Copies of this chain bind each other. A is one copy, B any other.
Amino acid sequence: MKIFLAGNFISTQNKLLVSNPYNGETVAETFLAGPAELEPAIVAAQQALQPMRSLPSYKRYEALMHIRTQLLARRQEFAETIMLESGKPLRYALGEVDRSIQTFTVAAEESKRLPGEYLSLDWTAAGENREGIVRYFPAGIVAGIAPFNFPLNLAVHKIAPAIAAGCPIILKPASSTPLSTLLLAEIISETGLPAGAVSVLPMDRHTGNLLVTDPRIAVLSFTGSPEVGWKMKADAGKKKVVLELGGNAGVIVSDTADIDLALSKCITGAFSYSGQVCIHTQRIFVHHQIFEEFSNRFAAMAAVLKTGDPALTETEFSSMIDEANAIRVENWVNEAISGGARLIGGGKRNGTFYAPTILTDTKDEMQVCSNEVFGPVVTLEPFHEFKEAAERINNTRFGLQAGVFTNSIYEMDYAFAALEVGGVIINDVPTFRVDHMPYGGVKDSGLGREGVKYAIMDMMEARILVKGKS
């Protein structure tokens, strides 16, 4: 599969084999871009700056709607590609394609609604007979760096806003999962956007670093691990930087909660795509009066998840992205057990497969609590006072989203005011996300917000026109 350099599909001398994490079989062969490919991509993006900026709304809309319509028509093909490159069960891969369709739809609509502002300026005599009009202009070339876990939709969350904003974009997919984004490039190439508007280039690490440091790029939008992200911020020079990093998202289950709902949602939040989700439900705090019922039923539900080949539609749970990560998770769980944690379910590894795992009696400083586990591991802990549960949610360097199952107005309001996160989800897991809502983290979990409208704004710059008025 060729890579997409400013309108052309090309090959390079640096081959990249993509394999299915479930069975290790090679799925496809593609290529890594090096500096020799990055340079013309940047030059083409520079040449596309003015044409992109000048596109009327309806042409941006048409391009984005074309992509949406083609994604819908090729939905199954995209889902299978995601499944093969990432090991994500097909049911979730289909859901991811649906979300990408929605992301492009919303971007198409928002491309017509870029905000402008009218300001009276005569608040003092100095501004008498003057008015201001604020418009937003594309900030320049965007570098987008996407992770493996939603190989299509998290790339789309950079590409679609960039097109809507009128910014050329160079997108680096994860080296393990570049195929679905390259497939998307086929559709993009049909749109008639300027050649340099979009490049999709898998890269080696050195070339990826050039993307971060090149001064011709105006915006860096990164989704990935906290360590890498914050390092990039320091290296990014004068760029605007948006970081969507990870976390160890927590849930509170209050004694006023609908326990059936909480169980069903938490199973999905904890184990879908083996927990390899930024807003994976990692820590569950349950009111002590319902803790025993909750943990028993939760363990029973986890034990009967349908595991196996991600290509089968009935499969709910499959392997992790690679064995190195499965071993890392295994070590963290074992470390927790050594430190006094108790295993309620799972805890076994078989190659890239790590079983749905539940721990209790953990301590906040264990890796399974304090770090982003990015695997199928969840901790269950009882609490007495709601305030105490909220404090434990906050007692970490991360702050992405949090879930609260409750029917108490007081608890809802308290959670919204007190939880140090980007999103508080009432009666659902922190794993909840729809693609037009503002999404992102505080503390070490990130900087800025995605969600189409918000991502567009981060790719634009305000300019005010001050003029007279009669």
Tell yes or no: A372 within 8 A of B by CB. no
30 contacts between A and B (CB under 8 A): A56-B122, A56-B125, A57-B122, A58-B122, A102-B123, A109-B112, A116-B118, A116-B120, A118-B118, A121-B434, A121-B436, A121-B437, A123-B436, A127-B434, A130-B434, A134-B438, A240-B447, A406-B409, A407-B408, A408-B408, A409-B426, A413-B467, A416-B465, A416-B470, A417-B469, A424-B464, A426-B466, A427-B467, A432-B466, A442-B461
Contact of A129 among B56, B114, B118, B414 (CB under 8 A): B56
Note all chain B residues with C-beta closer than 8 A to A117.
116, 118
- Complex interface: chain B residues within 8 A of A122 (CB): 56-58
Task: Tell me whether A179 is interfacial, beta carbon within 8 Å.
Answer: no
Q: Is the CB of B57 within 8 A of A123?
A: yes
Q: Which of B56, B119, B233, B462 contacts A449 (CB 8 A)?
A: B462
Chain B residues within 8 Å of A425, by CB: 466
A412 within 8 A of B: yes
Report A419 CB to chain B, min CB distance, Å. 8
List of B residues within 8 angstroms of A463 by Cβ = 416, 421-424, 442
Q: Which residue of B lies closest to A112 (CB)?
A: B123
Q: Is A230 in contact with B234, judged by CB distance below 8 angstroms?
A: no
- Check A330 for interface membership: any CB of B closer than 8 A: no
Residue of B nearest to A430 (CB): B466
CA gap between A121 and B439 in the complex, in Å: 13
**Contact of A416 with B106 at beta-carbon distance under 8 Å, contacts A424-B463, A437-B464 already known:** no
Residues of B within 8 A of A73 (CB): none
A124 interface contact, C-beta 8 A: yes
| Bound form: Cα–Cα A81–B426 in Å | 50
Q: A464: nearest residue on chain B (CB-CB)?
A: B423
Interface residues on A, range: 35 or more
Tell whether A426 pairs with B121 under 8 Å between CB atoms, given A109-B109, A127-B434, A444-B238: no
Q: Are B120 and A112 interface neighbours, CB within 8 A?
A: yes
Least CB distance, A464 to chain B, in whole angstroms: 5
Q: Which residues of chain B are near A417, meaning CB under 8 Å?
A: 469-470
Assess the B127–A120 pair: CB atoms within 8 A: no
Distance between Cα atoms of A462 and B446 in the complex (Å): 12
Q: How far, in whole Å, are A195 and B40 apart by their CA atoms in the complex?
A: 56
Query: Using Cβ atoms and an 8 Å threshold, which residues of chain B touch A116?
Result: 117-120, 131
Check: A339 CB closer than 8 A to any chain B CB. no
Interface-centre pick from A115, A128, A409 (highest chain B CB count, 10 A): A409
Q: How far is the CA of A186 from the CA of B128 in the complex (A)?
A: 28
Within 221-279 of A, Cβ neighbours of B (below 8 Å) are at 230, 233-235, 237-238, 240
Which chain A residues in 107-150 approach chain B with CB under 8 Å? 109, 112-135
A152 to B134, CA, bound (A): 27
* Minimum CB distance partner of A427 in chain B: B468
* A43 beta carbon closer than 8 Å to chain B: no
CB of A309 within 8 A of chain B?
no
**Chain B: which residue is nearest A419 at the CB level?**
B463
Smallest CB-CB A-B distances: 5 pairs: A116-B118, A56-B122, A426-B467, A127-B434, A413-B470
Q: Does A204 contact B (CB under 8 A)?
A: no
Residues of B within 8 A of A133 (CB): 118, 133, 416
* CB of A412 to closest CB in B, whole Å: 6
Partner of A106, one of B123, B410, B434: B123
From B124, B134, B427, B440, contact of A102 by CB (8 A): B124
- Chain B residues closer than 8 Å to A132, beta-carbon distance: 437
Chain B positions within 8 Å of A438 at CB level: 134, 462, 464
- In whole angstroms, how far apart are the Cα atoms of A132 and B422 in the complex? 12
Contacts of A119 in B (CB 8 A): 116, 436-437
Task: Report Cα–Cα, A127/B440, bound state, in Å.
Answer: 18
Which residues of chain A from 54 to 78 have any CB-CB distance to chain B below 8 Å in the complex?
56-58, 61
Q: For A409, give its contact among B102, B409, B421, B464 (CB under 8 Å).
A: B409
A426 touches B465 (CB 8 A): yes
Complex contacts, A128 vs chain B, CB 8 Å: 56, 58
Contact A469 B413 (CB under 8 A): yes
Residues of chain B lying within 8 A (CB to CB) of residue A416: 133, 135, 463, 465, 469-470
CB distance from A397 to the nearest CB of B (A): 10
A406 (CB) vs chain B CBs: closest residue: B409
Alpha-carbon distance A61/B118, docked complex (angstroms): 19
